[in-house]
Amino acid sequence: MRPITGTPPVRAALAALAGLAAVLAPTGCGVRATGPVGAGDLPRLTAQPNQVAVYLVRNGKLERVPRPGLLNEPYLGLQQLTVKPSVTETRQGYRSLLPDGVVLTAEATDLDPGGLLTVRVNRANVDWPRLLLGEVVCTANAAPNVKQVRLDYPISVAVRGKGGGPEESKMLDNLFRRMAIRYTCAEFADLTAN
């Protein structure tokens, strides 16, 4: 250790500081010393990965196909319908009838307390053969707590005098009628293979 140098008042102040440091050093930062603390058991892989059910078409029938899911994403199956079947699924004969560019979405807020899930469709001009409708409805209906499914479409309204003749009015009427329909997978039981 180096001897304390400087004028007597500086030496005295440095000596007092060194003495104070020597007294406070054992107390540390105020945290009391403890013994070893256990961290619990080693982690074990026991949980199964989440799965979602997607209904795909095989041999003209709807079949429930499990796909990987994500925690807290109960409606991921709808998004999975927009993903082409995997190579394995294709080899097994599965396909989706959902047209390219159609996006289906649903969130937790889209499920009402009675179990009605509103599925948003990004396009209004989708042709819905019964098998495709069953594919979407059964996939949505397979999510937890979903009892009925309703499809919701984007709507554009023309201002009178700026277009919007009888043909567009008829199309809007049909669209509103389709949006009011509630579906269940049971309505497509004749199309399901399992």
Q: Provide the CA 41 distance to its chain's centre, in angstroms.
A: 31
- pLDDT score, position 179: 67
Amino acid identity for residue 98 in this structure: L
Instruction: Compute the distance between CA of residue 101 and CA of residue 96 in angstroms, rounded to an integer.
Output: 13
| E strand map for 19-114 | 51-58, 61-68, 104-105
Bridge partner residues of 152 (DSSP): 120
SS3 of 41, please?
Answer: coil
Chain segment 138-193, per-residue pLDDT in tens: 999 999 999 999 998 776 555 555 555 666 666 666 666 666 789 999 999 999 98
Contacts of 87 (CB under 8 A, 6+ apart): none
* Residue 162 or 54, more confident: 54
- pLDDT score, position 108: 86
Instruction: Compute the distance between CA of residue 115 and CA of residue 107 in angstroms, rounded to an integer.
Output: 13
- pLDDT score, position 57: 96
Mean pLDDT value across residues 51-55: 91
Chain segment 59-117, per-residue pLDDT in tens: 999 999 999 888 778 889 999 998 899 999 999 999 999 999 999 999 888 899 999 99
Q: Provide the CA 1 distance to its chain's centre, in angstroms.
A: 64
Contacts of 57 (CB under 8 A, 6+ apart): 63, 94, 95, 96, 97, 131, 135
- pLDDT score, position 126: 80
- What are the CA-CA distances from residue 13 to residues 5, 7, 20, 25, 131 (Å)? 11, 10, 11, 18, 90
* Residue 4 or 114, more confident: 114
Instruction: Compute the distance between CA of residue 91 and CA of residue 8 in angstroms, rounded to an integer.
Output: 93
- pLDDT score, position 134: 95
Mean pLDDT value across residues 122-143: 90
* Residue 124 or 78, more confident: 78
